[in-house]
Structure 1
Amino acid sequence: MKTQSLDRRSFLAATGTLGLAAFGALSSTAATQDSADRQFLVLQKYTIEKEEQKTALDAFFKDAAIPALNRLGIQPVGVFSDTKESSTIFVLLPHPTIESAIGLTSKLLNDKEFVAKGASVLDAPKSAPAYKEIEAWLMLAFKGMPKVELPAKGPNRIFQLRIYVRPSLHTGQKKIEMFNDAGELKLFREVGLTPVFFGET
């Protein structure tokens, strides 16, 4: 299991903690069966190299991206930075359907307000890129926690990102069952850990 501590940066509509459980590949069966009430979660990782990039991305998320996502019904959106290294920003996007996740980019680029307010990042030149790279993971929320949940607000909160790596398909499925059916999610809450989401890739 890998863990990573994150600071909250900005949030849409509300704020929350961040957790992640990732196991294997999301099959077409998993995406179509028993998923009507389960969100599809996209976790983006921005790698940045300069303070100016962080400043520009902060403004981009606050003024352009988050309001545009809100208009599309995608909320809450979380934006977090790594506490140990300021070169990483994570963005959590909860989608109601797989079609919402797949079609997001084209919808955003058809939003004139988003394009205008986000121009400095969207049209950044090669000589001054807005970031070094973006990575993204598509997940299906656990049936035991089908939607992103928001804990109570509070100052100076720390969010821990957990990534569970499976040694085999069966081991990964057993771990998911432990969260969904064997009480691990309940135990998290009982000991005061407030999860925001769990998803399988």
Structure 2
Amino acid sequence: MIQKTRIALAFLSLLLSSAIFANEKTAPDNRSYYEIKLFRVASNEQVAQVENFLKDDFIPALHRAGIGKTGVYHPIGNDTAVDKRVYLFIPLRSLEDLNMIEELTMTDAKLKGANAFLDAAFNAPTFVRTESMVLKAFPMMPTYNIPSLSGNKTERVYELRSYESATQRLYRQKVKMFNAGGEIALFKRLNFNAVFYGEVIAGSRMPNLMYMTSFNNKADRDEHWKKFGEDPEWMKLKVVPEYLNTVSRNETILLNPAEFSEL
């Protein structure tokens, strides 16, 4: 009798373990996906053409298709730079939106009329090239945030950071540092007004993570980073052995929002 009871309990334990494992495997992942479209342009005229197309045609088409608020930014000093850029941040409802967005110029009736941009002559292009990066939000910030900023919009600074790692293991450690390690919580406590944090799951430089913070102006940005660098919590976190040497390349791009940017 005792033996039968033990067998029954063992069987019940196995069933419970299997159920727990199944729930963990099928638990819904509530993390958002994002696309960052980068337009590379060669002149201020092309900058204007891209931004007018986004403002008047493409973003309204995205909204008609059910996409929420978007962000449009250009690097500070873009007007004098050789490599001019326009960044478009798009929050996705699912990865299926990528295909929908790609086909939007053929499926949206109003967008088809944007001939000045879409049907430019081969020797008078409206941009040099476009690139796309697809990101999956971090667990500790599973969706994007509308920043709470004050003052003149033209003075606002958005900081886009890209952290590349030498190996996949080191990359995972850096992602862990942001989440379980508490780096996102530290940014939040210091009011960095993050727009998003995300793992790059498709892009030209991987393994890679990206995030964007925002500030009222350049002085505000510098003051925030000064406080961050001096914070006791950061001083401890940055020397934790498992997080050392996790970033092999850090690209920091300071951006201004376009007048019509929604984020």
TM-score bracket, shorter-length normalisation: 0.7 to 0.9
Correspondence for 2:146 among 132, 145, 150: 150
Indicate whether 1:96 and 2:96 are aligned. no
Distance 1:157 1:76 in 2: 18
Q: How much identity, in percent, do the aligned residues show?
A: 27
Q: Aligned residue for 1:126?
A: 122
Q: Write out the 4+ residue segments of structure 1 that deviate beyond 3 Å after TM superposition.
A: 32-36
1:85 is matched with which residue: 65, 78, 101? 78
Q: Which amino acid aligns with 1:73?
A: G
Task: After TM superposition, list the pairs within 5 Å mapping 1:15-164 onto structure 2.
Answer: 36-86=29-79, 87-116=84-113, 118-154=114-150, 155=152, 156-164=155-163
User: In the alignment, is the contact (CA less than 8 A) between 1:38 and 1:140 conserved in 2?
Assistant: yes
Q: Which runs of 5+ in 1 are unaligned?
A: 1-31
| Partner Cα distance (2:106, 2:33) in 1 | 21
**The structure with more radius of gyration:** 2
Note if contact 1:39-1:140 (Cα within 8 Å) is conserved in structure 2.
Answer: yes
Report if aligned partners of 1:38, 1:96 keep a CA contact under 8 Å in 2.
Answer: no
Cα shift at 1:60:
0.7
1:50 and 1:107 map into 2 onto residues whose CA distance is 26
Paired amino acid for 2:65: L
- Counterpart-to-counterpart distance in 2, 1:71 and 1:120: 21
Q: What is the alpha-carbon distance in structure 2 between the residues aligned to residue 90 and residue 33 of structure 1? A: 35
Distance verdict in 2 for CA 1:200–1:153, change over 3 Å: same
- Contact 2:47-2:85 within 8 A present in 1 as well: no
Q: Which structure would you say has the larger RCO, counting Cα contacts within 8 Å and 6 or more residues apart? A: 1
How many residues in Structure 1 have an aligned counterpart in Structure 2? 169
- Counterpart in the other structure of 2:189: 190
Structure 2, unaligned runs of 5 or more = 1-24, 201-263
Q: Residues 157, 194 of structure 1: CA spacing in aligned structure 2 closer, same or farther, 3 A cutoff?
A: same
Q: How much is the aligned-residue C-alpha RMSD, in angstroms?
A: 1.8
Distance 2:186 2:26 in 1: 27
Residues in 2 aligned to 1:35 and 1:115: alpha-carbon distance in whole angstroms = 37
8 A Cα contact 1:140 1:199, kept in partner: yes
Q: Structure 2 vs 1, CA of residues 135 and 129 (structure 1 numbering), >3 Å: closer, same or farther?
A: same
**What TM-score do the two structures reach when normalised by structure 1?**
0.78
Q: Take 1:34 and 1:76, find their aligned partners in 2: how far apart are those partners?
A: 28
